[in-house]
Chain A
């Protein structure tokens, strides 16, 4: 001990007063670490720059279109008009789709965390299926819904669109719910178990309330994602009266903002392009607001759980 201490003293630079600096191996590792930090930071900045670029482009192109009339009037063919009917149609379909996907997604999440054991094969299979579903191109979801709903009904409907959106939302919500439920502290379950309360009551009374904010966050993110989906709507809900408000998804095509962008951009008029940019700006704003709101909610949940 005394020997190694004196050896250390001998090796230390005898420059009392100057600050201690790393040398040799430690110095190399620190240089490498700094280089990696720089690369990672650059990559992060690049991602942020991309987002800013998209936002700036959409804002500069779309802002001229934004007006009270644009938001409150329905589309009006070549002469322009607004996006009120498309906006309402998107809301109808997304709400309808979310009404299906949120409860089912939460139940799937509950199954994975509360019902199935850690070694359940069914749970494992379900996770794989969810991940695959999440990776399925949305146009494929569109084709499937086309075959399942549009073909038998012999018409494109908002209902078919809502179903397609719910299929896109489901894996997102289920996985988000699973992740949030998994971080509900096990001590809550233990405490509830020790009180002789049945597990399903614990789920409703303690576990879900503790996870509610996080689940809602996942649901909002999924909704925001679905609201901008275009490919499946192109297949199952592209035939609708473009200039009318249509809130009844059964039996009718329902207009939507993505479809508005898609069709208006192709109109043989210069104003059409501006209108499409305007609609894109509205869509982007909605998604951004939803995302920020979702993050805020998540941080609140974490605080509530004492994380």
Chain B
């Protein structure tokens, strides 16, 4: 942490970055990628003016942002500001919530995820998710990883597939001698890595992680963070975290959400979206600055 922190503090990222502002008006800078230090990236998600309501209460205000391929995008913000709502909108995990309503467009590689013809099972097949609390099935370690591939017709080379997934989730060495034992016997950190292995066993394109390390101890957290760095070479990752150091350590880009007053309702709003370094060293919005310096929420 300290190494990363020092690096962050010592280095000034370019002032101008892809940046979005409040209340949905585009801000100069969003298109200024030529000034950005990093190369142009392929876009996986284009989120266009998305608003989410649960019944009559609005959870997420008009949000527009792009998520890039092979990057880790972090979502931070105070509790209740719509981080999970936002994340779960990216693979339609909110659909089963009664009265859930989404306006705007979520384009995944050009496909409108909420178009009537879109099949949400297929959406989730490509866009996997890891939850806050590890939720392995009450099956063996092997069967946890093999279950989805089996059910999706990827039976050929199943053993290799399971091993590969467990290796990529940095769990193989710990479990290779007890693949037939129940997954419920693993530690919390191991269970969470198993859930990551289970998610990547079907080779999704995107992995969404909702506070994947918040139930884990610092060592298990470190191993999950380590994992983010390697996984992003294969997948596109979006991670919700309460831990700003974690966002600073793992994310290429960070989106900061906060509760903003819209009429009489407090609505989760995207305040700032920028390369992580910029957001943490030189935030453009005072609310971002207050939040990352701990004066708010």
A305 to B202, CA, bound (A): 24
Interface locus among B68-76, B126-134, B169-177, B275-283: B126-134
Contact A195 B128 (CB under 8 A): yes
A197 within 8 A of B: yes
Q: A187-B131, A210-B138, A306-B138 are in contact. Are A196 and B147 (CB under 8 A)?
A: no
Interface presence of A188 (CB below 8 A): yes
A201 within 8 A of B: yes
- Min CB distance A204 to B, Å, is 9
Q: Could you list which residues of chain B lie within 8 angstroms of chain A, going by C-beta atoms? A: 91, 93, 96, 98, 121-126, 128-131, 133, 135-139, 147-148, 151-152, 184, 195, 198-199, 202, 204
In the assembled complex, the CB of A5 is this many whole angstroms from the nearest CB of chain B, namely: 33
Chain A residues close to B by CB (< 8 Å): 117-119, 185, 187-188, 190-198, 201, 205-206, 209-210, 304-306
| A305 nearest CB neighbor, chain B only | B138
Contacts of A210 in B (CB 8 A): 137-138
Which residues from B are CB-within-8-Å of A118?
A: 98
Whether B148 pairs with A190 at a CB distance below 8 angstroms is no
Q: Are B122 and A196 in contact (CB under 8 A)?
A: yes
Pick the residue among A117, A119, A188 that contacts B137 (CB under 8 A): A188
Across chains A and B, which 7 residue pairs bring their CB atoms closest together, nearest first? Answer: A196-B125, A187-B135, A194-B129, A196-B124, A195-B148, A191-B135, A197-B151
Establish whether residues B184 and A306, one from each chain, have CB atoms under 8 Å apart when the complex forms.
yes
Q: B139: which A residues are within 8 A, CB to CB?
A: 206, 209
Contact status A194-B91, CB under 8 Å:
yes
Assess A190 versus B124: contact at CB under 8 Å? Given A195-B202, A196-B152, A205-B151: no
A residues in contact with B151, CB < 8 Å = 197-198, 201, 205
The answer for the CA separation of A75 and B148 in the assembled complex, in Å, is 56
Known: A190-B93, A206-B147. A195 touches B135 (CB 8 A): no
| Known contacts A188-B137, A206-B137, A305-B138; A196/B131 CB under 8 A | no
